[in-house]
Structure 1
Amino acid sequence: MYVLLIIIAAIAVILGVPDIRRSLISRPAFGFFKRVLPPLSATERDAMEAGDVWWDAELFSGKPDWYRLLRTPKPQFSEREQAFIDNQLETLLAMIDDFDITMHQRDLPESVWQYLRQEGFFSMIIGQQYGGLEFSPAANSHIVARIATRSLSVAVSVMVPNSLGPGELLSHYGTEQQKQYWLPKLANGEALPCFALTGPEAGSDAGSIPDHGVVCHGEFKGEQVLGIRLNWNKRYITLAPVADVLGLAFKLNDPEQLLGKGEDIGITCALIPTSHPGVETGDRHFPLGQAFMNGTTYGKDVFIPIDWIIGGQEYAGKGWRMLVECLSAGRGISLPALATASGHVAERMTGAYAYVRQQFGLPIGKFEGVQEAMGRIGGLNYSVESMRRLTVAALNQGQSPSVITAMTKYHMTEMGRTIGNDALDVHAGKGIQMGPRNYLASNYMGVPISITVEGANILTRNLMIFGQGATRCHPYVMKEMIAASNPDEEAGLREFDSLLIKHIGFAAGNTLASLWHGLTGARFANTPVSGVTAGYYQQLSRMSRGLALCADVSMLTLGGDLKRKEMISARLGDALSHLYMASAVLKRYEDDGRHESDLPFVHYAMQHHLHQLGVAFDGFYQNFPQRIIAGLLRFVSFPFGIRYKAPLDMHKQAIAESMMQPGATRERHTFLCYWQADADDMIGHMELAFTQMHALQDVYKVLRKAQKQGVIGADLNGEGLAQAALQAELIDAEQAQALSACETLRMRAIGVDSFAFDEVKQGQFKPLD
Structure 2
Amino acid sequence: MSILLLIIIAIAVVLGVPDFRKQLVTRPVFRVFKRILPPMSTTEREAMEAGDVWWDAELFKGKPDWRQLHNYPKPSLNDEERAFLDNQVETLLAMLDDYSIVHEQKDLPQDVWDYLKKEGFFALIIPKSFGGREFSAIANSTIVSKIASRSLSAAVTVMVPNSLGPGELLMHYGTQQQKERWLPTLADGRDVPCFALTGPEAGSDAGSIPDLGIVCKGEFEGKETLGIMLNWNKRYITLAPVATVLGLAFKLRDPDGLMGDQEDLGITCALIPTDHPGVETGRRHNPLALAFMNGPTTGKDVFIPLDWIIGGPDYAGRGWRMLVECLSAGRGISLPALSAASGHLAAKMTSAYAYVRRQFGMSIGRFEGIQEPLARIGAFAYSLEAHRRMTAGAIDLNISPSVITAISKYHMTEMARKVVDDAMDIHAGKGIQMGPLNYLGNAYMGIPISITVEGANILTRNLMIFGQGATRCHPYVFAEMEAAANPDEGEGLNQFDGLLVKHVAYAAGNFTRAVWQGITGARFNASPVAGETSRYYRDLTRMSTGLAVVSDMAMLVLGGELKRREMISARLGDILSHLYMASATLKRFEEDGHQVSDLPFVHYCLQHHLHAIGVAFDGFFANFSNPILSTILKRIIFPWGIRYKAPKDKVATQICSSMLKPGVLRERLSHLCYVGAGEDDATGVMERAFVAMFESQSLEKRLGNAQRAGRLPKRIPFAELIEHAFAAKLIDDKEAAQLREAEALRYHAIQVDSFNEMGATQSPAVPFNADAA
TM-score of the two chains, using structure 2 as the length reference: 0.98
The answer to whether the aligner puts 1:591 opposite 2:583 as a matched pair is no
- Residue 229 of structure 1, CA deviation: 0.7
- Conserved 8 A contact 2:213-2:228: yes
- For the residue of structure 2 that corresponds to 1:287, the secondary structure is coil
- For the residue of structure 2 that corresponds to 1:199, the secondary structure is coil
- Conserved 8 A contact 1:755-1:768: no
Amino acid at match of 1:597: S
Give, in whole Å, the separation in 2 of the partners of 1:714 and 1:156.
51
Q: How many residues align?
A: 766
Residue aligning to 1:726: 726
> What's the CA shift string for 1:391-422, capped at 9, x where partnerless?
11111111100000000110000000000111
Give, in whole Å, the separation in 1 of the partners of 2:317 and 2:111.
41
Amino acid at match of 1:352: A
Residue aligning to 1:345: 345
Give, in whole Å, the separation in 2 of the partners of 1:719 and 1:640.
60
The within-5 A match list for 1:377-526 is: 377-526=377-526
Give, in whole Å, the separation in 2 of the partners of 1:700 and 1:162.
50
- Residue 720 of structure 1, CA deviation: 3.1
Residue aligning to 1:364: 364
Give, in whole Å, the separation in 1 of the partners of 2:558 and 2:190.
54
Amino acid at match of 1:48: M
- Residue 657 of structure 1, CA deviation: 1.3
> What's the CA shift string for 1:579-600, capped at 9, x where partnerless?
0000011111110011111111
Give, in whole Å, the separation in 1 of the partners of 2:26 and 2:276.
59
Amino acid at match of 2:375: G
Give, in whole Å, the separation in 2 of the partners of 1:595 and 1:261.
64
Give, in whole Å, the separation in 2 of the partners of 1:722 and 1:287.
48
- For the residue of structure 1 that corresponds to 2:247, the secondary structure is strand
- Residue 370 of structure 1, CA deviation: 0.6
Give, in whole Å, the separation in 1 of the partners of 2:190 and 2:632.
64
Give, in whole Å, the separation in 2 of the partners of 1:255 and 1:535.
63
Give, in whole Å, the separation in 2 of the partners of 1:464 and 1:510.
24
> What's the CA shift string for 1:709-728, capped at 9, x where partnerless?
55444454464332222112
- Conserved 8 A contact 2:328-2:401: yes
- For the residue of structure 2 that corresponds to 1:129, the secondary structure is helix
Give, in whole Å, the separation in 1 of the partners of 2:374 and 2:63.
35
Residue aligning to 2:146: 146
- For the residue of structure 2 that corresponds to 1:486, the secondary structure is coil
Q: What's the C-alpha RMSD, in Å, of the aligned pairs? A: 1.2
Amino acid at match of 1:503: H
Give, in whole Å, the separation in 2 of the partners of 1:138 and 1:4.
61
Give, in whole Å, the separation in 1 of the partners of 2:307 and 2:227.
8
Amino acid at match of 1:490: G
- Residue 732 of structure 1, CA deviation: 0.8
Residue aligning to 1:188: 188
Cα pair distance change 1:766/1:3, threshold 3 Å: farther
Give, in whole Å, the separation in 1 of the partners of 2:262 and 2:370.
64
Instruction: Give structure 1 stretches of 5+ with no counterpart.
Output: none
Give, in whole Å, the separation in 1 of the partners of 2:331 and 2:730.
58
Give, in whole Å, the separation in 2 of the partners of 1:397 and 1:59.
19
The answer to whether the aligner puts 1:80 opposite 2:87 as a matched pair is no
Amino acid at match of 1:187: A
Cα pair distance change 1:766/1:257, threshold 3 Å: farther
- Conserved 8 A contact 1:103-1:765: no
- For the residue of structure 2 that corresponds to 1:331, the secondary structure is helix
- For the residue of structure 2 that corresponds to 1:144, the secondary structure is helix
Give, in whole Å, the separation in 2 of the partners of 1:209 and 1:323.
13
- Conserved 8 A contact 1:424-1:431: yes
Residue aligning to 2:299: 299
Cα pair distance change 1:490/1:745, threshold 3 Å: same
- For the residue of structure 2 that corresponds to 1:236, the secondary structure is strand
Residue aligning to 1:658: 658
- Conserved 8 A contact 1:679-1:745: no
Amino acid at match of 1:435: G
Cα pair distance change 1:707/1:232, threshold 3 Å: farther
Task: Answer with 230-239 or 354-363: which moved more.
Answer: 354-363
- Conserved 8 A contact 1:252-1:317: yes
Amino acid at match of 1:737: A
- For the residue of structure 2 that corresponds to 1:333, the secondary structure is helix
Give, in whole Å, the separation in 2 of the partners of 1:61 and 1:404.
15
Cα pair distance change 1:46/1:77, threshold 3 Å: same
Give, in whole Å, the separation in 2 of the partners of 1:413 and 1:384.
9
Amino acid at match of 2:195: F
- For the residue of structure 2 that corresponds to 1:229, the secondary structure is strand
- Conserved 8 A contact 2:356-2:690: yes
Give, in whole Å, the separation in 2 of the partners of 1:593 and 1:178.
46
The within-5 A match list for 1:692-707 is: 692-707=692-707
Cα pair distance change 1:288/1:624, threshold 3 Å: same
Give, in whole Å, the separation in 2 of the partners of 1:424 and 1:14.
66
Give, in whole Å, the separation in 1 of the partners of 2:610 and 2:368.
24
Give, in whole Å, the separation in 2 of the partners of 1:278 and 1:711.
82
Instruction: Give structure 2 stretches of 5+ with no counterpart.
Output: 767-773
- Conserved 8 A contact 1:57-1:474: yes
- Conserved 8 A contact 2:682-2:749: no
The within-5 A match list for 1:319-358 is: 319-358=319-358
Residue aligning to 2:237: 237
TM-score of the two chains, using structure 1 as the length reference: 0.98
Give, in whole Å, the separation in 2 of the partners of 1:244 and 1:713.
69
- Conserved 8 A contact 2:752-2:765: no
- For the residue of structure 1 that corresponds to 2:288, the secondary structure is helix
- For the residue of structure 2 that corresponds to 1:299, the secondary structure is strand
- Conserved 8 A contact 1:56-1:580: yes
Residue aligning to 2:226: 226
- Conserved 8 A contact 2:722-2:739: yes
Give, in whole Å, the separation in 1 of the partners of 2:205 and 2:528.
42
Residue aligning to 1:28: 28
> What's the CA shift string for 1:643-680, capped at 9, x where partnerless?
10000000111111111011010011101011133441
- Residue 706 of structure 1, CA deviation: 3.2
The within-5 A match list for 1:749-764 is: 749-757=749-757, 760=758, 764=761
Amino acid at match of 1:283: R
Task: Answer with 82-91 or 61-70: which moved more.
Answer: 82-91
Task: Answer with 717-726 or 562-571: which moved more.
Answer: 717-726
- Conserved 8 A contact 2:751-2:765: no
- For the residue of structure 1 that corresponds to 2:682, the secondary structure is coil
Residue aligning to 1:273: 273
Amino acid at match of 2:498: S
Give, in whole Å, the separation in 1 of the partners of 2:497 and 2:332.
37
Residue aligning to 1:259: 259
Task: Answer with 176-185 or 9-18: which moved more.
Answer: 9-18
Residue aligning to 1:45: 45
- For the residue of structure 2 that corresponds to 1:288, the secondary structure is coil
Give, in whole Å, the separation in 1 of the partners of 2:195 and 2:527.
46
- Residue 361 of structure 1, CA deviation: 2.1
- For the residue of structure 2 that corresponds to 1:298, the secondary structure is strand
- Residue 282 of structure 1, CA deviation: 4.7
